[in-house]
Chains A and B, each alone.
Chain A
Amino acid sequence: MKPIFGIQISRGVIQRTVTQGTVLLGVGGFFIILIIFFSFRAENFFTGRNGINVLENVAVLGVVALGQAMVLISGGFDLSVSGTVPLGGVIYVILANHHSGVYVALLAAVVVGIACGLVNGLVITRLGINPLITTLATVSITGGVAYTASNGLTITLNDVSDAPLGNNFLGIPIYVWAFIVLSVVAFVVMRYTVLGRTLYAIGGNREASRLAGLRVDAVTVLVYVISGALASFGGVMLAQQLLAGAPTVGATEGLQSITAVILGGASLMGGTGGIPGTLVGVLVLGTVANGMALMQVQTFYQQMATGVILLLAVSLGRLRLVLEHLIWSRSQDDDTDRPGQPAILTNVVDQAKGG
């Protein structure tokens, strides 16, 4: 390595700097730029009240996206959340209105979400049907059940006290705190547990993971169960926000959550991504919607902007990979921690197996 301005800089430092720089250029940096932009252009954007607004608005999407991130990282796909979210909300409201009590209604809704996830996981692993097709079918089924259960109507919560998640704690609704707590738990699981490592391994190379002795099918079922439970819980949160449940409310969460996870650096091929990136993706979507609403930008443009942002973020992520690849390919230290599927897989499988 030649000295630069007489200073010998190691290849590792350059590699790390470029990697971090490109990440900063990605969705994280974009998020900061968004905040700065809207702070100057949108009246009332950089205020305390609006900070809470953004968090309140993204809480449900955030919870759903946590499950979606796990599924995508494991190489799957979960469109069924678009049916599970409204179904969870409808079930919660119906049971709460029948005086079942908040906890029973909540538990029942989450159990239904778990059942949906279980069906997804079993169909995908036992019948070998593509996750896209499977969850496309189950979104139709769960959505249909939500319509049937509600007669196609919006059902209002009879008693506001059945929406305790809407109460404030330290000036912030409890459902926002629930989102924060679940995010921390998901982060810990994905970063520090065998399950998290296994998901990365399965997403990186499913067959190799199986050959390496990982319980691929069981973990796949589990991850859909988690996604179903989180989606259903998201539906309950939404019902408590809106004081109502409806078969149409929350039906866009599937594509929105996938968008957020992809924005956060995940790949549809699996094996990459993470909870922090997902949360940034969620906040980007929420901030764009909030900032544009404050700027009175028409909804059509908001839709277009979301699409452009997705393309931009994914392109920057791709650019990052290309830059990394260029740098690594010139590296003479081939035995260092070079990225690439086989090396990562080996590393992750070792860790997943406790090695």
Chain B
Amino acid sequence: MKKNRPIQGLILVAALALMAAACSSSSPSSSSTSTTTPAAAGNSASSASLKPLKSLYFTYGSAANSIGLIKEVGTSVVDDAKAEGIKITEYDNNLDGPTALANARLMVQDQPNVAIDWNTVVGVGDAVGAQFTQAKIPCLSVNQEIAGCTHFNLSNEDMGLTAAAVMLPMAKARGWNGSNTTVVMVIAAANGTEVNNGPRYFYVQTANTLSGFKKVTPAQITATTTTIGGTNGVQINCASTLDGAFSAMQNVVGSIPKKNNILLYATDDDCDLGAYQSLKQNGFGNRILTGGLGGDPDGLNELRTNPSWVCEGSAFIQDWGPYILSEAVAMVNGVTPPVLTSSPQIMLTKQNLSTYYNAQNNVILLPPLVSDNQYLAKYGILTKFAKIQGLNG
């Protein structure tokens, strides 16, 4: 037992150091900004009255740098900020709630002008948001809502509705209805209501457009819903993975009548592909109509080559960086952003695909700004780092 004494000494010293440091800490200083609406800011403020970008400090919490697309967003935010002279510190939330909370504490410690945070664990948003609001640090949540923060995201509801607008006329023309068609909704149950809005609004719109489907409200379709109206609607949980979607679909595909047509819509391209492959292997083949979501290379290639893949919702995620930075700059300059500042998004079809993507699946043009993200244009960052239809492209 004597051998442990040096360790005890060390831990005592370290613990005392940490405790002493803890007791000597001071509460973070607060910051405040006067606010104006986006419209007012857009009309009245001139660039001369804006705070110089070089005086700003932002922190950015990436959802997970292990995911290429998400890392690309972070790289864009950081690189564009640095190019503009904005000081920025990046943290990696690593798809983990406790890590997101720990990083929020570090961001508070940094005392930025705006804390930008992409946290993927939905329920942890309250705890993360409390860190920022208690420290009175303005915060901007990306993709997933964080309590007390302004929000930047695609609208999954719009995606579901615009996919329906493309797919349902095709289905109607083929004579598909509730007696011979099943809507397969592929969701990521743990990712919260907003992310799963696409599939559920897609079903609701289908039931309102095609005859014979059981009508339900969006609120009646929850993460725990499995079927609607017998086989009118079947919902599976892909857990955001290709193999998760495939195996979940395999488990329920036997319950869908073999003669039925399939309208398939998922929360992302991986989930769509996994479920699509399962349905195809189980004999549904060319009786499937589907629309992807994400604008991933796989999804774009399917849109080009697969007759069943008739549309692809793209939120141009890899190009979010300048939009996010612009919103943070707007906040520093006293603008109160709308409840949701929309990311660039569009429903691609086989006809308009080449307008926005080249053959190598690189973005060549971003869709026009809309009413709730129009205010981002005035800070110059979008025109410098993005090519937007109707603005500079």
- Chain A contacts to B: CB under 8 angstroms: 16, 19-20, 23-24, 27-29, 31-32, 35, 44, 46-57, 60, 151-157, 160, 170-172, 191, 238, 241-246, 248-250, 264-265, 274, 276-277, 279-280, 283, 289-290, 293-294, 296, 298-300
Contacts and interface: CB of A to CB of B under 8 A. Distances in A.
B4 A246 contact: no
Given A170-B23, A280-B10, A299-B94, A154 B18 contact: no
B190 A171 contact: no
A114 B369 CA distance: 57
Given A53-B105, A55-B22, A242-B127, A32 B10 contact: yes
B25 A241 contact: no
A313 B356 CA distance: 53
A97 B70 CA distance: 34
Given A46-B21, A244-B123, A296-B89, A154 B109 contact: no
Given A20-B6, A60-B98, A48 B23 contact: yes
A52 to B, nearest CB: 5
A166 B10 CA distance: 28
A299 B61 CA distance: 12
Given A56-B105, A156-B126, A246-B97, A171 B25 contact: yes
Nearest to A46: B21
Interface string B41-72: 00000000000000000000000111000000
Contacts of A47: 21, 25, 109
Interface residues of B, number: 56
Contact of B123 (A16, A35, A154): A154
A47 B110 CA distance: 11
A48 B21 CA distance: 4
B123 A31 contact: no
24 contacts: A23-B6, A23-B7, A28-B7, A31-B10, A32-B10, A44-B106, A47-B21, A48-B25, A51-B21, A151-B189, A152-B237, A154-B123, A243-B123, A243-B127, A246-B121, A248-B190, A249-B98, A249-B121, A250-B98, A274-B7, A280-B7, A293-B106, A299-B65, A299-B92
B124 A283 contact: no
Contact residues of B: prevailing secondary structure: helix
Interface string B1-41: 11111111011011101111111111010000000000000
Given A246-B123, A276-B7, 14 more contacts: A28-B11, A52-B25, A152-B237, A153-B223, A154-B122, A160-B126, A246-B97, A248-B121, A248-B190, A250-B98, A276-B4, A290-B102, A298-B65, A299-B66
Interface in B147-179: none
Contacts of A160: 126, 130
Interface string B317-360: 00000000000000000000000000000000000000000000
Closest 9 CB pairs of A and B: A48-B25, A154-B123, A244-B123, A51-B21, A28-B10, A243-B127, A51-B18, A48-B21, A156-B123
